[in-house]
Amino acid sequence: MTARSLLLRLALAVPLTAAVTLGLSPEARAFCGFYVSGADAKLFNNATLVVLMREGTRTVLSMQNNYQGPPENFAMVIPVPVVLQEDNVKTLSDEVFSRVDQLAAPRLVEYWEQDPCYVEPDYEMEFAKDGMAAPTAVEYAAEEDADLGVTIEAQFTVGEYEIAILSAKDSTGLDTWLRREEYTLPEGAEPLLRPYVEEGMKFFVAKVDITKVKVDPNGKTMLSPLRFHYDTEEFRLPVRLGLINSSGKQDLLVHILARGKRYELANYDNVTIPTNLDVAPEARERFGELYAALFDATLGKNPKAIVTEYSWDSSSCDPCPTPPLRADEIATLGGDVLGGELDPWGGGFVLTRLHARYDKESLGEDLVFREAPAIVGGREFMMGDKLEKGSRPAGTNNFQARYAMRHPWEGPITCKDPIRGRWGGPPAGGQPKTEPAKDLAFAERGSIELKEIIREDVPEIGVMTAAKPVETKAIVDGQDPSAEPKPAATAPADAGPPKGSASSQVRAACSCSAENGARDTGVLGLLSLLGLLGLRRRR
């Protein structure tokens, strides 16, 4: 290696605040940039979680990735709209990403029908409270690089990342510059770089020092998540460069946190996932496969669409696969640089989860976001005599991908007017069980028949079920009644569920709020923060 080449490599020793995944899997999650290797090895992206915060013109972008590959150092290249300085970039902990992913994930909840003869007492809820110098623009080896038009605008180190911010006058020069530094670029990189160079975007190059990260016995390394922020009029996520490392289909999960606002795509079709479907007990062990099949069927009816899977106040949930986000977690993800005061209870922010799955043929543009009206759906709310289905406009965001296994009452019914269809926790006590879907990008596909697992028709995706609906008849005074059981009392379309129902019980346990109780998020967020929640029954 020449002295000049070594010096240029040192100039690239700058850290990044995002995280990246490399692997040799044919199924991959998308990444907002691409990888270049110091070895002649192909690097594939297979797991990326993105969290965005948006306020005015400010965007905070956080990414978590892991990689699996050769031990040689490699770098990430991400287009950014402005020159980032060291103060714009920081590393985060893994835990906060796991919390966001679980909170917004599709969920499987298990309900048991409550005693039809049970007379509910009055409930009263009581809440217990129990250094480096500032970087400057550097044009290194100008006499040799002038013809390439590449300038190192800033450089610094963050954690295991050595970060350089580059500008380039043309994509061929940038391609040549990276290759000259002995990085092995994937084939077809230059045409994908070209539109970003023509727009005048900068390039965030984060080189990873492999000696500073831990590798488990299986060769899998989790890099520190990266966060960086910038100001720009357009709310956009660059994803086209991620196709360079694609070996097939890619999944991208984008979580957006914004004060009181839901976001959707401005340049792609939008669709919400079918929700509030009853499923057979087999779903317990195969929930990932089931949801992947449901998601693929939704895209089959809506090609190239982006699927909304969740939109809810970040300080509440119903049911809750994990406690809601705390105020300090909101700050960690970018609330500290948005400006204005943060709600001390952690409320006020809407968490929206968008799921894209695409390949080189179906992705033509980066993702551009726009504000969208609030929606509700996926709750234990009755619409007339049926559970609400799908999504619909509302004043507050209460939408989630929720699927239920229901166990009808099997005990004796000794009263004259039994009330059927009241769902809650198991007979021995406790709350309904809630399980989030995990690792959906790697779920086995093509191995499950939706019509065999889902207990009802889903006409919007063309699924006509072969499974039987949940049977709710039971023995009354030792006899099988011929009349239909009395249905559960219904509530107005946007009202909360009756006391003692599954939804109200989960709300009590999870600090949840319904659509018409949005301002409860202050108290509920505090309870999440302190981890204290008291529930007392009084007859």
Is the pLDDT at 531 greater than 80, yes or no?
A: no
Angle between helices 171-180 and 189-198 (to 10 degrees): 130
Same domain for 395 and 444?
yes
Q: Is the Cβ–Cβ distance between 104 and 437 less than 8 Å?
A: no
One domain for residues 109 and 63: no
- Residues 525, 404 within the same domain: yes
Is residue 90, in this structure, part of any structural domain at all?
no
The whole-angstrom separation of Cα 188 and Cα 204 is 19
Does the pLDDT value for residue 426 go beyond 70? yes
Please tell me the predicted confidence (pLDDT) of residue 373.
Answer: 97
Do 465 and 455 touch, CB atoms closer than 8 A? yes
Question: What tens digit of pLDDT does each residue of 60-99 get?
Answer: 999 876 555 554 556 778 889 999 999 999 999 888 988 9
Instruction: Give the side-chain half-sphere CA count within 13 A for 67.
Output: 30
pLDDT digit string (tens) for 404-418? 999 999 989 999 999
CA gap 499, 68 in Å, rounded: 50
360 and 411 together in one domain: yes
Tell me how far apart the alpha carbons of residues 521 and 325 are, in angstroms, rounded to a whole number: 11
Looking at residue 148, what is its pLDDT?
81
The pLDDT score that the predictor gives to residue 289 is 92
Q: Is the pLDDT of residue 449 over 70?
A: yes
For residues 505 and 160, give the distance between their C-alpha atoms in angstroms, rounded to a whole number: 45
Q: How far apart are CA 175 and CA 192, in angstroms?
A: 10
| Domain contains 195 | yes
pLDDT band at 522 (very low <50, low <70, confident <90, very high): very low
pLDDT of residue 55: 94
Residue 222 scores a pLDDT above 80: no
Rg (the chain; Cα; Å): 26
The answer to whether residues 157 and 126 belong to one domain is: no
Helix (H) / strand (E) element for 59: namely: strand 58-68
SS (H, E, C) 132-145: CCCCCCECCCHHHH
User: What pLDDT score was predicted for residue 145?
Assistant: 52
Asked whether residue 207 falls in the same domain as residue 126, the answer is: no
Strand partners of residue 271:
307
- Specify the pLDDT at position 484: 41
Tell me: do 47 and 79 sit in the same domain.
yes
φ/ψ of residue 42, rounded to 5 = -85, 130
Residue 294 placed within a domain: yes
CA gap 183, 109 in Å, rounded: 48
Quick check: is 430 in a domain?
A: yes
User: How far is C-alpha 379 from the chain's CA centre?
Assistant: 19
Q: Which residue has better confidence, 216 or 522?
A: 216
Contact indicator for 384, 490 with CB cutoff of 8 Å: yes
| Per-residue pLDDT tens digits for 463-517 | 887 655 555 443 333 343 333 444 444 344 444 443 344 444 433 333 333 343 4
Among 195, 213, 248, identify where a domain stops. 248
**Residue 97's closest CA among 309, 264, 329, 262?**
329
Q: Contact 203/149 with Cβ under 8 angstroms?
A: no
Looking at per-residue pLDDT, the higher value among 178 and 127 belongs to 178
Q: Report the 10 Å Cβ neighbour count for 199.
A: 9
> Model-level pTM greater than 0.85?
no
Same structural domain for residues 265 and 405? yes
Among 270-284, 296-310, 382-396, 520-534, the range scoring the smallest mean pLDDT is: 520-534
pLDDT at 47 over 80: no
Domain that holds residue 492: 100-130+259-537
Q: What is the pLDDT of residue 68?
A: 54
In this model, does residue 213 exceed pLDDT 90? no
Report residue 447's pLDDT band, with 50, 70 and 90 as the boundaries: confident
| Contact between 286 and 443 (Cβ < 8 Å) | no
- Which of 8-22, 104-118, 358-372 comes out lowest in average pLDDT? 8-22
Whether 95 maps to a domain, the answer reads no
Q: Is residue 175 a part of any domain in this protein?
A: yes
- Mean pLDDT of the residues in the chain: 74
Q: Does 460 have pLDDT greater than 70?
A: yes
pLDDT higher than 70, residue 385: yes
The two three-digit tokens of residue 457, written as one number: 């028709």
pLDDT in tens, 1-44: 433 333 333 333 322 223 333 332 333 333 344 444 443 333 33
- Each residue's pLDDT tens digit, 312-343: 999 999 988 999 999 999 999 999 999 878 88
Residues 196 and 219 in one domain: yes
Residues 13 and 159 in one domain: yes
The pLDDT score that the predictor gives to residue 328 is 92
What does the pLDDT average to over 113-141?
A: 57
Q: Is residue 93 part of a domain?
A: no
Query: Between the CA of residue 487 and those of 273, 329, 493, what are the distances in Å?
Result: 28, 43, 17
Number of domains the chain contains: 2
Q: Please tell me the distance from the alpha carbon of residue 97 to that of residue 99, in angstroms, as a whole number.
A: 5
The 10s digit of each residue's pLDDT in 129-147 is: 444 444 444 444 444 555 6
pLDDT of residue 247: 55
Does residue 225 sit in the same domain as residue 301?
no
